Amino acid sequence: MPALYVVATPIGNLADMTPRAIETLKSVSLIAAEDTRVTRKLLNAFGIHTPLVSCREHNERTVALRIVKRMLEEGIDVACTTDAGTPCLSDPGSGLVREAANAGIPVIAVPGASAIAAALSVSGMDIEEFTFYGFLPRQRGELREKLKDMARTSRVAVVFESPYRVIDLLACLAESLPHTRVCVHCDLTKKYENTLRGEVIEALEVLQNNPKAEKGEYCLVLQWDPQDIPREEERAVSLEAMVFNGLVEGLSLRESMERLIAAGERRNAVYAVGIKVKAMLAPLAAGKGEVR
């Protein structure tokens, strides 16, 4: 029976390549790689000559079906890798794993480097439990809403971010949850790796004053401060006041709600408050037309 090996590779330091990973990549008949050019450099460093096939986000489903079909017909073992770290964690690989498992092919983990585990291990935070969110939304309103939801539902969060957007993320976090403790890791395990620890405002100021901030790969660990975490019942009262304020200014109920959503308030929460306000105004609106 053929097997699919999910092989972790270094996230920056080649010395983190495990002997088992090297042996596995040498022994399989094919390597399904996120980017064959990146993986070829890794293979060359360890004298590995196994053939490669591209299996990335945009072609994974089609390629996965072909690979699984070939595994079954030819009885060959295949390894799955990504450009760095452990496959399937905000990287391609899940589709291939799923197709192989559905076909009854054993899927075997060859563990190794992971930016998530590395970032948590040196954060200095109490990691009894955590939630991994991958890459966050790009739009400011949606990002603000997501951060608030994360604070409500997780104790410690781990996220990835582009070097071009990390300052925007921290700025939004500083506005929404200003007492959040952060551990901002850049280029973990690489020669010039750097870690910032402290409150989000402190980390933001350092990066804003760093002309090289838009370089490297970022992984952030976030620990929420209870005083920042919005409570639903308190928030609902505040939203009601905001909706009524819009009505006082001459806006319609719908316009007042849309203004709050555009400002980053949670759509579902605003709609729920809108229904309450409409019900409260119904007696006043009787005979004067519908509240819009």
Q: Based on the domain organization, do 262 and 224 belong to the same domain?
A: no
Tokens 């997780």, residue located:
154
User: In this predicted structure, what is the pLDDT of residue 267?
Assistant: 81
End-of-domain residue from the set 94, 113, 132: 113
Element containing residue 4 per DSSP (H, E): strand 4-7
Neighbours of 136 (CB within 10 A): 19
Q: Which of 60, 82, 113 is the last residue of a domain?
A: 113
Which CATH number fits the domain that encloses residue 175?
Answer: 3.30.950.10
Rounded-to-10 torsion of CA 122, 124, 127, 133? -60
Q: Is position 237 within any domain?
A: yes
Write down which residue in 113, 140, 165 finishes a domain. 113
Asked if residue 39 and residue 8 are part of one domain, the reply reads: yes
Distance CA 54, CA 180 (A): 40
Residue 223: count of CB within 10 angstroms of its CB: 20
pLDDT by residue (tens digit) across 146-186? 999 999 989 999 999 999 999 999 999 999 999 999 999 99
**Is 99 within a domain?**
yes
**223 and 280 part of one domain:** no
Q: Which two tokens stand for residue 198?
A: 């402290």
Do residues 72 and 22 share a domain?
Answer: yes
Q: Does one domain contain both 26 and 56?
A: yes
- Total number of domains in the chain: 3
Residue 291 belongs to a domain: no
Lowest mean pLDDT among 86-90, 217-221, 250-254, 280-284: 280-284
Query: Do 281 and 248 form a contact (C-beta atoms < 8 A)?
Result: no
| Residue range of the domain that includes 83 | 4-113
138 or 6, greater pLDDT: 6
Could you tell me if residue 247 is inside a domain?
Answer: yes
In a domain, 129, yes or no: yes
